[in-house]
Structure 1
Amino acid sequence: MDLLLRGEMATLTAVEAVGASTRLPGDAGLAGLYLNELVVRLTGRQDPYPRLFDAYARTLARLAAGESLAWSLRRFERDLLEAIGYGLQLQHEADSGEPLEAEACYRYLVEEGAVRCAASSPHALRGSDLLALGQDRMPDNSGLKSLRDMMREVIRFHLGGGELRAWRVLAMAVSGRPRTPD
């Protein structure tokens, strides 16, 4: 890809395809739009992030192959945060440094990490779900929902308290359908 830069305006002068275009029908297409908005909103303009774009390509392939949308998105969010320098602490408790316990419950504090809490606490996450995300193992549907909620809080923090338009679009798209984890 070649760009000609003049101030804030860039002109694309050449581009080479690296493969066939990826088709993302239905909900996978909406997930693809979400990925795009995440990248645009959380990365700097013209900053190279080779690991991020490798993760992006892997996620598009997963979506095109019909893999779990929710799990594909959580993996990408995790990888994106890592690539831009905001990696999640998914192995140790933030306050004690002790390894996370699968049977324990935690609250994830964005600037600190996982802190043990009561299972009845708002935003409580199972340790097994945090460990699964860190070890790239898909949790059950309940875990995927908890991880989605945690990731939204983390992303919202890094957006300076803002929201993604894709969250509203996805909410409207699924409002008339049975709920599936996204």
Structure 2
Amino acid sequence: MIQRALVLHRWDFQETSLLLDVFTEQNGRVRLIAKGAKRPKSPWRGLAQPFVPLKIEYKGRSDLKTLTLLEQDTQLVNTRLNGNALYSGFYLNELLQRLLPNEAEAQELFQHYWSAIAVLAESSYVEPALRRFEWQLLEHLGAAFDWHHDADTGQPLKELEYCYFVPDHGLVSAPRYKGDKAYAVSDIERIANWDINDEHRLKQLKWIMREALHVYLGDKPLRSRELFQQRRK
């Protein structure tokens, strides 16, 4: 079956081949071997890399499949990411590599991912696209929370002045621990409607998403985040 795909990461394999971690439209994340892709005359040589829209086909029954077809998807604009957008794209790819199981259907998330990459290619202001995709990923993982009600009591948050975020639980009216960050409910209501053009609300959403994702990512640092921080030094 031929399907759309994008490469999340690639590794050298033996002298002439590549190992590819690929996000496919129909089958989710798949690990492939691209035999001969490093040969100078291979038509796959310049295509098997992140952020190039592809059409692929593969075969095999093991966890490592064999790539049999790789061509550029000319119906989609070829995105070239530079600067902060490139590191942001690496960040999205690393999230998918760390959090998506192999060969689990994720068609809607694939569309969200491609939309995010397209925005990164067109805009120098990357933060809103990153935050939206983080939320869409949480929804896919079944980890989304209610922005409008207390996760403990069900009380509408609009009746409160401040609330607190508890990872893997949701927004609550009372802090769990001393020093928990308080969020103005007026800001949370606007964030819930994706009114995040304000720098203050965007930073609040970033903090909430980071805490929410940490439950699934664990303590292992994100390599893409380290690379971005090194670039800024």
How does the TM-score come out when normalised to structure 1? 0.83
Structure 1 gaps of 5+ residues are 177-182
Cα RMSD between the aligned structures? 2.3
Which residue does 2:152 correspond to in 1?
95
Change (3 A) 1:129 1:80: farther
Which residue does 1:113 correspond to in 2?
170
Displacement of 1:168: 1.8
Q: Which has the higher strand share?
A: 2
SS in structure 1 opposite 2:172? Answer: strand
CA contact (8 A) 1:37 1:164 kept: yes
Which residue does 2:13 correspond to in 1?
none
Alignment equivalent of 2:201, drawn from 123, 130, 143:
143
Q: Which has the higher helix share?
A: 1
- Asked whether 1:54 is paired with 2:111, we answer yes
Displacement of 1:64: 1.6
CA contact (8 A) 1:117 1:124 kept: no
Aligned length: 174
Which residue does 1:12 correspond to in 2?
67
- Asked whether 1:124 is paired with 2:182, we answer yes
Displacement of 1:39: 0.9
For 1:83 and 1:172, locate their aligned partners in 2 and report how far apart those are by CA, in whole Å. Answer: 31
- Asked whether 1:104 is paired with 2:161, we answer yes
Deviations 1:129-177 (A, max 9, x none): 4333322222521221122122111111112343322222222223x3x
Say which structure, 1 or 2, has more relative contact order (CA 8 Å, 6+ apart).
Answer: 1
Moved more, 77-86 or 18-27: 18-27
Alignment equivalent of 1:69, drawn from 126, 136, 143:
126
Deviations 1:68-97 (A, max 9, x none): 311111100001110121113212111221
SS in structure 1 opposite 2:214? Answer: helix
CA contact (8 A) 1:102 1:128 kept: no
How does the TM-score come out when normalised to structure 2? 0.67
For 2:221 and 2:182, locate their aligned partners in 1 and report how far apart those are by CA, in whole Å. Answer: 22
- Asked whether 1:40 is paired with 2:78, we answer no
Q: Percent identity?
A: 32
CA contact (8 A) 1:108 1:114 kept: yes
For 1:92 and 1:67, locate their aligned partners in 2 and report how far apart those are by CA, in whole Å. Answer: 34
